[in-house]
Structure 1
Amino acid sequence: MIEAPGIPLTVIAFLLLLGPLVFIHELGHYLAGRWFGVKADEFSVGFGREIAGFTDRRGTRWKFGWLPLGGYVKFAGDMSPASQPTADWLQLPAAERARTFQAKPLWQRAIIVAAGPFINLALAVLILAGFALAYGQSTTPPVVGAIEPNSAAAKAGVRPGDRIASIGGTGIERFDELKMYAALRPGERVALNVVRDGSVNTLPLTIGTLKQADRWGNAYQIGRIGIGPAEPVWSKVSLVEAPVVGVRRTGEIISMMVDTIGQVITGRRSVKEMGGPLRIAQVSGQQLSLGWPEFVSLIAMISINLGFINLLPVPILDGGHLMFYAVEAVRRRPLGVRAQEWAFRGGLAAILALMLLVTINDLGAFGLWRGIAGLIG
């Protein structure tokens, strides 16, 4: 175990991580709005009181808030949480009203809202494509080489030379896909299909659980089958192939997130594993201390998280707005303002509850609750 990075490096790393990602996210909204002729009144990185900023020639106030945990773009005429026309909006001059968010067709409003999450995903694709171009990619086939004694694979009857066709109903084409599937499912019982002597055999497999700790002492557990590849293969990636690899890896990470959320909802994974801003700050400092490649990899991961989470159909998030736009497209009219406002209040309450939960988890991971218990005891 090595010494953890100090607080100054952790704070710097956190700001270098979150600030650009929030800026990129809001820039997506801003550029899409500008493309469709919507005026932006404010562009803020961070919440709360302004600590620095300027106003450009288009009348947009660019500023930094004192709380660097998010940001926003406030478009002209966006006077209610539901982004619906209000009495104040109707009183605007016609020319000014035409440049407001509410005046735009439904499809343009949807693109403006979706642009933020999608630019985060695009950034991740670009980073992952760059890594693939620089370092290549693993194309190791899922053929079994070594088998660890007393491992999950050994107990299931896996043999050297078996080719893994699928696990838990998921097709396997590369050895990395098998490792990724197992890592997320410690202790789960699944069906493993292997090709042996030209025929497919189905083996019942209980994925093993491996408890690990990183170099900073952070403990976690992963699933492990206990096999190694017959012949590792590492391939170069061309400039044309790199974006395809970036898209595929982004999709794989999103799939992992969906699986993880499903495990938390069904109780197969503890909510204590969920982390928040404090945990992200800690990890960002640790990754920056390892070097820029590791830190940029973390940026890609958090960017995918930011894009994916914002697309969830939760009122107050971008996905919640898109959900209401979908309803509006089907009904040919929007939901009532009051119904939307109540939905947004519920979404805000849910987000605040989640933030409280992950903050409690973060403080627990830092040992605060054990320390308090020790003082009381």
Structure 2
Amino acid sequence: MTEILTSFFSTESLLVGTIIPFLFVLMVVVFVHEMGHYLVGRWCGIGVKAFSIGFGPELFGFNDRHGTRWKLSAIPLGGYVKFTGDMSVTSSPDAAADESLSDEERKVAFHTQPVWKRAATVVAGPFANFLLTIAVFAVMFGVFGRFVMEPMVADVQVDSPAASAGFEKGDRFVSVDGTKVRTFGDVQRLVSGRAGDKLTIIVNRNGEEVPLSVVPALREQTDALGNTVRMGVIGVVNDQTVGEPRVVEYGPLEAVGEAVRETGYVIARTGQFLKRFVAGREDRCQLGGPVKIADMAGKAAQKGFEWLIQLVALLSVGIGVLNLLPIPPLDGGHLLFYALEAVMRRPVSEKLAEAVYRVGFLAVLGFMGFVFWNDLFGC
């Protein structure tokens, strides 16, 4: 019996090694996202009926003094905030449902608020995700600093894109496709997501700036968590002699500034990946769903709590960006309708909105099915 319990609760077991880290990562990201909606909604004077982590049957919960039901539900793959008056996927009630609201409820109902309040409440969810990522990065930079290397070329691999483009030992990167670089990590970040694209890279060679054109090749590599990833490389090598590796330490304000910059890089890279994916230029196996996230959470937990927190930060950015896509019923889809309402000075007809939201909902379900297939069978 002791051996069974030890096996079940060991750090390498399915429960402790994978499921618990997965739930921790997902619930933190979802809670922050929904809390963004909740806090701004309350600030705008909108009533809140329920705040749920997860979907489906309620496991447990409580009512606060404002009448909001806070609950944990059985299916931990998301969450929601139900505002007063939310009675359909478009966050606007039908006529019969509207009549059931009291005068006091109608004053604080979501659909009766000015469009700017509704838009602010909706955008607050993704914005909270970005703030979470900034906060995590700021703490990490403040506590651990950051390992950097000078953007130098110590060697050029034979028969690589860099060799064909004319890179030489001793070159110092100045910019990649118009973006200035400070470290070798900046170069890797800007090149890794551009496999097959023609890039203009400026290097400093003997005091002169030399423009070089190169097309990164797609290569399989293993990331820090042991996952196989495909990324663009040009075939240059840095080393300790010319790269001068070191750890840069940051004060509190510097750490926040660096965290904002790093979060911006991650957002841009995520958006770039999605555009290339839609164009058929990215490997579909790079997209994963809950199974892949659970696997990554387990691997991160084994490496230490700081790795798990970094995974929270990266997943938070991904959730924020995905929710801003202009596809109903995502937050970006709501914002698109509010923008149209602001321009037309009247809401989009409920019939049209319902039709568009149904199509969007099917698209979201299709995407979820796609990533589940990738998780279980496709890759």
Shift of 1:143: 3.1
Match of 1:374 in 2: none
Aligned mate of 1:95, from 77, 98, 104: 104
Match of 2:66 in 1: 58
Match of 1:190 in 2: 199
TM-score by length of 1: 0.90
CA-to-partner distance for each residue in 1:6-50, whole Å, 9 max, x for gaps?
Answer: 321211111111112111111111111222222211111111111
215 and 84 in structure 1: CA distance in 2 versus 1, 3 angstrom threshold: closer
Which ranges of structure 1 fall in alignment gaps of 5 or more residues?
367-377
Please state if 1:27 is matched with 2:35: yes
Matches within 5 A, 1:1-377: 5-8=12-15, 9-87=17-95, 88-138=97-147, 140-213=149-222, 218-225=227-234, 226-228=236-238, 230=242, 231-364=244-377
SS of the residue corresponding to residue 209 of structure 2 reads strand
Measured in 2, the distance between the counterparts of 1:295 and 1:365 equals: 26
Measured in 2, the distance between the counterparts of 1:312 and 1:90 equals: 33
CA-to-partner distance for each residue in 1:180-211, whole Å, 9 max, x for gaps?
Answer: 12222345443322232343322232324432
Letter in 1 for 2:14: I
* Contact 1:138–1:176 under 8 Å retained in 2: no
Shift of 1:57: 2.3
SS of the residue corresponding to residue 195 of structure 1 reads strand
Further displaced range: 194-203 or 215-224? 215-224
Taking only the aligned residue pairs, the percentage that are identical comes to 39
Letter in 1 for 2:230: Q
Shift of 1:139: 5.4
* Contact 1:186–1:221 under 8 Å retained in 2: no
Letter in 1 for 2:232: G
Measured in 2, the distance between the counterparts of 1:35 and 1:205 equals: 51
Measured in 2, the distance between the counterparts of 1:212 and 1:122 equals: 30
Measured in 1, the distance between the counterparts of 2:277 and 2:335 equals: 25
Measured in 1, the distance between the counterparts of 2:378 and 2:225 equals: 12
156 and 332 in structure 1: CA distance in 2 versus 1, 3 angstrom threshold: same
Measured in 2, the distance between the counterparts of 1:36 and 1:215 equals: 43
* Contact 1:5–1:286 under 8 Å retained in 2: no
* Contact 1:147–1:228 under 8 Å retained in 2: no
TM-score by length of 2: 0.89
CA-to-partner distance for each residue in 1:265-308, whole Å, 9 max, x for gaps?
Answer: 22221223211111111111111111101111000001111111
Shift of 1:363: 0.7
Measured in 2, the distance between the counterparts of 1:160 and 1:31 equals: 54
323 and 66 in structure 1: CA distance in 2 versus 1, 3 angstrom threshold: same
* Contact 1:51–1:65 under 8 Å retained in 2: yes
SS of the residue corresponding to residue 110 of structure 2 reads coil
| Count of aligned positions | 363
* Contact 2:326–2:336 under 8 Å retained in 1: yes
Shift of 1:123: 0.7
Letter in 1 for 2:320: G
Measured in 1, the distance between the counterparts of 2:109 and 2:224 equals: 52
